[in-house]
Chains A and B, each alone.
Chain A
Amino acid sequence: MIFPVAFGDKPRSIFTIKKASEWKTWLKVISPVVLKGRLPEPYYSEWINLVEAITIATDYSIPYDQLDELRAKFIRFGQHYEEQYYRHDISRLAACKTVFHALFHVTENIEWLGESITSSENIQSY
């Protein structure tokens, strides 16, 4: 895989990744390629749906009429997480991380404040 320098740090194994910027590159650029054929369906398609949602949600601007599409994508992933990872099973519930619930609130957060206005990515160099 050819990886342009402009994309950021040289990619390393997802088991040694530490920095947020590395996770960002992995999520947006590497994972759709590397997981294809490795992560079974429907997990791969649902992951791509989330990658698309995150890409829209972290862009510099978003048309107001795209918000419904964005909301639908996050809810679709939330329901997938519910059906395939939690499976209404109390012993699996414990493996579900609290932050996944926050995905349901991303779109309304954008409606109120705009895109990623409070992301600490903005002031990493501070």
Chain B
Amino acid sequence: MYYLGRQHTVWPIILLNYNLSPEIRFKQENIITFGIVPDPKKPSNFNSFLYPLVQQFKILHKGVEAQDGSQLNTLFTLRAHIVVIGTDMPARDMVMGLSGHSARHYCNYCSARGIYSHQFRHMYTPLTAPTNTPVDPDWRTYNPNALPIRDHDRSKLYAHHVEETGDTEVIQRTGVKGYIPFWDLPSIIFPWSYGIDSMHLFYLNIAHYMRDHWAGLTVPSITANGT
């Protein structure tokens, strides 16, 4: 399943059948358009667009009676499950029910905590703290081989808790912003069912930002020569 957001305009909700081979699964005739989130702004209640989708898949999870076109007299139980959810980067925070890119816990996959630059109003999650500014004493160094991956069950508890109480302390401490309909589907594993959009990450972000670093276009400007 895919959300394709372009500059917060129209977001199609489409279903891809991964039982089909890669050669044909992305062809237009094999893509099911479930719905379209309309213009002009990003939706204020995105969950309301996901709700009917999840209701349908709850039924398909149990199975429905269906007929095989080649065997007209026999019925079989048809099941379908959402296992992978693909979105581009701006949509992913919303689809996962997370606070997003400017939050202290902006990472969608782990609970590593960011450090905030007040001067430039910018959040970033380094592995080690800056040496030239005081940081919270409970901020700890991260091992890139063992990052604190978000736990499925605990994240679901946070989501329930935040939805019921609006507890801003938990929102800030975890980055979990609210309950999403996808929590009701047992086929979805948080956070790994929500795949990385490698096109945006590698090409539109990493390549672009490295160009900016080398050309001194970042704010503040830091170049490869260390000025």
Tell whether A pairs with B: yes
In the complex, A47→B117 CA distance in Å?
Answer: 26
Give the residues from 187 to 227 in chain B that come closer than 8 angstroms, CB to CB, to chain A: 189, 192-211, 213-215, 218-222, 224-226
Give which listed residue, B84, B130, B204, contacts A117 with CB less than 8 A: B84
Interface centre among A31, A58, A91 (most CB of B within 10 A): A91
In the complex, A103→B201 CA distance in Å?
Answer: 8
Which B residues have a C-beta under 8 Å from some C-beta of A?
2, 4, 12, 14, 16, 26, 28, 31, 84-89, 101, 106-107, 109-110, 112, 114-115, 117, 119-120, 122-133, 144-145, 147, 149, 189, 192-211, 213-215, 218-222, 224-226
Are B200 and A20 touching (Cβ within 8 A)?
yes
In the complex, A50→B149 CA distance in Å?
Answer: 23
Give which listed residue, A78, A116, A125, contacts B198 with CB less than 8 A: A116
Give which listed residue, B133, B145, B213, contacts A85 with CB less than 8 A: B213
Are A88 and B4 touching (Cβ within 8 A)?
no
Contacts of B208 in A (CB 8 A): 17, 23
Contacts of A89 in B (CB 8 A): 130-132
Are B222 and A85 touching (Cβ within 8 A)?
yes
Give the residues from 83 to 98 in chain A that come closer than 8 angstroms, CB to CB, to chain B: 84-86, 88-98
Contacts of B197 in A (CB 8 A): 118-120
Are B125 and A101 touching (Cβ within 8 A)?
yes
Closest chain B residue to A76, Cβ basis: B144
Contacts of B206 in A (CB 8 A): 27, 50, 54, 99-100, 103
Contacts of B128 in A (CB 8 A): 82, 88
Are A101 and B119 touching (Cβ within 8 A)?
no
Q: Is A36 an interface residue (CB 8 A)?
A: no
Are A94 and B117 touching (Cβ within 8 A)?
yes
A36 CB, nearest partner CB in chain B, Å: 13
Q: Is A64 an interface residue (CB 8 A)?
A: no
Contacts of A121 in B (CB 8 A): 198-199
Are B132 and A90 touching (Cβ within 8 A)?
yes
Closest 9 CB pairs of A and B: A118-B195, A118-B86, A94-B120, A23-B203, A112-B192, A121-B199, A95-B218, A94-B117, A90-B133
Give the residues from 27 to 65 in chain A that come closer than 8 angstroms, CB to CB, to chain B: 27, 31, 39-40, 43, 47, 50, 54, 57-58
B213 CB, nearest partner CB in chain A, Å: 6
**Could you list 10 A-B pairs, sorted by A, with CB under 8 Å?**
A27-B202, A79-B144, A84-B226, A95-B213, A98-B124, A98-B125, A100-B209, A103-B206, A118-B84, A123-B26
Contacts of A82 in B (CB 8 A): 126-128
Are B210 and A47 touching (Cβ within 8 A)?
yes
Are A91 and B198 touching (Cβ within 8 A)?
no
Give which listed residue, B31, B147, B201, B207, contacts A26 with CB less than 8 A: B207
A17 CB, nearest partner CB in chain B, Å: 8
Closest chain A residue to B83, Cβ basis: A113
Closest chain A residue to B101, Cβ basis: A98
Closest chain B residue to A111, Cβ basis: B192
Are B196 and A95 touching (Cβ within 8 A)?
no
Contacts of A109 in B (CB 8 A): 109, 192, 195-196
B227 CB, nearest partner CB in chain A, Å: 11
Q: Is A122 an interface residue (CB 8 A)?
A: yes
Q: Given the known inter-chain contacts A99-B89, A120-B197, please indicate yes or no for A126 contacting B126, CB distance below 8 A.
A: no
